[in-house]
């Protein structure tokens, strides 16, 4: 009843609600595996500190301690989230078993170490994205791909090459392209004496990694920039200009990735998307929420998330030119809830973008009717969006708002509290 009324209200504005929901259901959004275990992974000592400028804070009970727990937790999240999903993996989540020969270091990783994940994705009919893990490892000196130390650089170049092979394997196994994001925390705490050298070396490393053969329609290597990180406050090698420049001069080999926690606080990725799409046929996103700094808080249904998703919709990004992934990690609240809330909010914001009468608004802008544009954009905010959202959840077979948290609390009581 309330859905039909909502639908009629949107129809008056020329918005086809059914078509919007259908479109959204087909768009893949990558769920990051690392929210489940505070970015620790399985390949190094779980008590080691995170390095590379990233940090989780909090010790809420229930962190996944092995692949079985992590997969079980991801399944809980998938069951609560509408839409098409992918799983975003990091190399540090390799699964070592006696059958596949046990532990190897990151430069020796092979597709077989991700067979369990490939099976996981195939069984659920979803794709996988991938990331080399260039942090929290003894071979960070502390630099990786930009290190002046040849041995260090070799190790990490070999790691990234291994990751391309794994990404191609995942793409072939799932039948869905794999976005492989290269991010390093390389940088300096204090004023550098040489800003140029590390960037030259980073470029040379990337050139060597991307010179290996791979099918660019299956593997989409990305380069992610960052303005600063904890412990690398004064200088990051992979700055915005560096990664953008690299991606622009290697369009046949890689694409740029923007993480909305990685810019100066008044810069917004919503505005960057249409700028980038003028020049790049494909871009990738990490959606997060920075609070004052790149704090990786849980994504909310807030103004910037809405604006960012509106731009994805308006720029045709849902037709495959924008690869959408989540990237945040909060250890201070129930991790299943954090994952679910953020994923649902990205879906919500995309639905909100699809339910915006973008053609009408564009016409007002182009005709210079700015007063009407201002009024209409603001009044759209009180349309009965929630009724459409709950109908979308129903269509996707997942709980509506207000209904999913109780299942998370049940799982917490039954499973998570027992993880000590």
Tokens of 418: 């027992």
Per CB under 6 A, the list member of 43, 259, 282, 311 interacting with ligand RNT is: 259
Q: Which of 37, 73, 282, 296 is catalytic?
A: 296
- 34 forms part of the interface with ligand RNT (CB under 6 A): yes
- 327 forms part of the interface with ligand RNT (CB under 6 A): yes
Q: Which of 38, 327, 391, 412 is catalytic?
A: 327
**Beta carbons of 132 and 159 less than 8 angstroms apart:** yes
Minimum CB–partner distance for residue 56 and ligand RNT (Å): 10
Minimum CB–partner distance for residue 119 and ligand RNT (Å): 23
Per CB under 6 A, the list member of 33, 54, 255, 269 interacting with ligand RNT is: 54
Burial 324-361 (b: 16+ CB within 10 A, else e): bbbbbbbbeebbbbbbbbbbbbbbbbbbbbbbbbeeeb
Q: Which of 85, 113, 159, 286 is catalytic?
A: 286
Q: Could you tell me which residues are beta bridge partners of residue 187?
A: 236
Task: Write 298-301 long-range contacts (CB < 8 A, 24+).
Answer: 298/328, 298/330, 298/333, 298/338, 298/341, 298/342, 299/326, 299/328, 299/341, 299/342, 299/345, 299/346, 300/341, 300/345, 301/345, 301/348, 301/349, 301/352
**Beta carbons of 285 and 259 less than 8 angstroms apart:** yes
Query: What distance separates the 2 farthest-apart alpha carbons in the chain?
Result: 68
Tell me which residues in 149-188 interact with ligand RNT (CB under 6 A): 183
Tell me if residue 259 is catalytic.
yes
Burial 391-407 (b: 16+ CB within 10 A, else e): bbbeebebbeeeebbee
- Choose among Zn ion, ligand RNT, none what residue 131 binds, the Cβ cut-off being 5 to 8 Å by kind: ligand RNT
Rg, C-alpha atoms of the chain: 21
Q: Which of 137, 226, 253, 297 is catalytic?
A: 226
303-314 helix and 358-366 helix, angle to the nearest 10 degrees: 80
Minimum CB–partner distance for residue 182 and ligand RNT (Å): 9
- 136 forms part of the interface with ligand RNT (CB under 6 A): no
In whole angstroms, what separates CA 306 from the centre of its chain?
A: 16
C-beta of 41 vs 82, nearer to ligand RNT:
41
Tell me which residues in 236-265 interact with Zn ion (CB under 5 A): 259
- Choose among Zn ion, ligand RNT, none what residue 54 binds, the Cβ cut-off being 5 to 8 Å by kind: ligand RNT
Tell me if residue 327 is catalytic.
yes
Query: In this structure, what DSSP letter does residue 397 have?
Result: T
Q: Round to whole Å and give the CA distance between 397 and 82.
A: 7
Tell me if residue 38 is catalytic.
no
| CB within 8 Å of 50: residues ≥ 6 apart | 38, 39, 40, 56, 135, 136
- Choose among ligand RNT, Zn ion, none what residue 17 binds, the Cβ cut-off being 5 to 8 Å by kind: none
- 349 forms part of the interface with ligand RNT (CB under 6 A): no
Per CB under 6 A, the list member of 55, 131, 144, 152 interacting with ligand RNT is: 131
Tell me which residues in 279-298 interact with Zn ion (CB under 5 A): 286
Per CB under 6 A, the list member of 286, 297, 310, 335 interacting with ligand RNT is: 286
Minimum CB–partner distance for residue 264 and ligand RNT (Å): 15
Tell me if residue 296 is catalytic.
yes
| CB within 8 Å of 336: residues ≥ 6 apart | 62, 73, 76, 77, 80, 408, 411, 412, 416
C-beta of 227 vs 398, nearer to ligand RNT:
227
C-beta of 230 vs 300, nearer to ligand RNT:
230
Per CB under 6 A, the list member of 76, 113, 199, 226 interacting with ligand RNT is: 226
Residues interacting with Zn ion, by CB under 5 A? 259, 286, 327
What residues make contact with ligand RNT under the rule CB under 6 A?
Answer: 34, 39, 54, 131, 183, 224, 226, 259, 286, 294, 327
Q: Active-site residues: which are they?
A: 183, 224, 226, 259, 262, 286, 294, 296, 327
């Amino acid at each position: 009843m309330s859905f039909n009324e909502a639908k009629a209200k949107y129809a008056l504005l020329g918005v086809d609600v059914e078509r919007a929901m259908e479109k959204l259901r087909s768009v893949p959004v990558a769920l990051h595996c690392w929210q489940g275990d505070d970015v620790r992974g399985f390949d190094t000592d779980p008590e080691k500190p995170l390095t590379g400028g990233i940090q989780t804070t909090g010790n809420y009970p229930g962190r996944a301690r092995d692949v079985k727990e992590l997969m079980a937790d991801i399944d809980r999240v998938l069951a609560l989230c509408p839409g098409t999903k992918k799983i975003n993996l990091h190399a540090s989540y390799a699964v070592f078993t006696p059958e596949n020969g046990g532990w190897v270091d990151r430069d020796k990783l092979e597709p077989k170490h991700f067979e369990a994940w490939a099976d996981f994705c195939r069984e659920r009919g979803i794709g996988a994205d991938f990331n080399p893990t260039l942090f929290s490892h003894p071979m960070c000196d502390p630099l990786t791909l930009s290190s002046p130390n040849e041995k260090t650089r070799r190790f990490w170049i070999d790691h990234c090459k291994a990751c391309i092979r794994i990404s191609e394997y995942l793409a072939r196994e799932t039948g869905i392209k794999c976005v492989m994001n290269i991010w390093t925390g390389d940088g300096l705490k204090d004023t550098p004496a040489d800003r140029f050298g590390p960037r030259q070396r980073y470029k040379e490393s990337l050139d060597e990694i991307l010179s290996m053969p791979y099918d660019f329609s299956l593997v989409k290597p990305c380069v992610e920039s960052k303005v600063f990180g904890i412990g690398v406050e004064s200088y990051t090698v992979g700055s915005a200009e560096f990664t953008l420049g690299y991606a622009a001069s290697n369009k046949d080999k890689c694409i740029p990735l923007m993480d909305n926690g990685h810019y100066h606080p008044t810069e917004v990725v919503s505005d960057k998307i249409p700028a980038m799409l003028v020049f790049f046929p494909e871009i990738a996103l990490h959606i997060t929420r920075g609070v004052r700094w790149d704090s990786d808080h849980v994504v909310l249904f807030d103004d910037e998330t809405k604006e960012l998703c509106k731009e994805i919709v308006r720029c045709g990004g849902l037709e495959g030119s924008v690869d959408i992934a989540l990237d945040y990690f909060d250890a201070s609240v129930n991790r299943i809830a954090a994952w679910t809330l953020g994923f649902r909010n990205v879906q919500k914001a995309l639905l909100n973008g699809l339910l915006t009468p973008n053609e009408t608004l564009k016409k007002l802008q182009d005709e210079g009717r700015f007063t009407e544009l201002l009024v209409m954009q603001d009044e759209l905010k009180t349309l009965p969006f929630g009724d459409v959202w709950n109908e979308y959840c129903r269509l996707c077979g997942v709980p509506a708002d207000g209904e999913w948290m109780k299942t998370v609390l049940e799982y917490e009581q039954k499973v998570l509290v027992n993880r000590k």
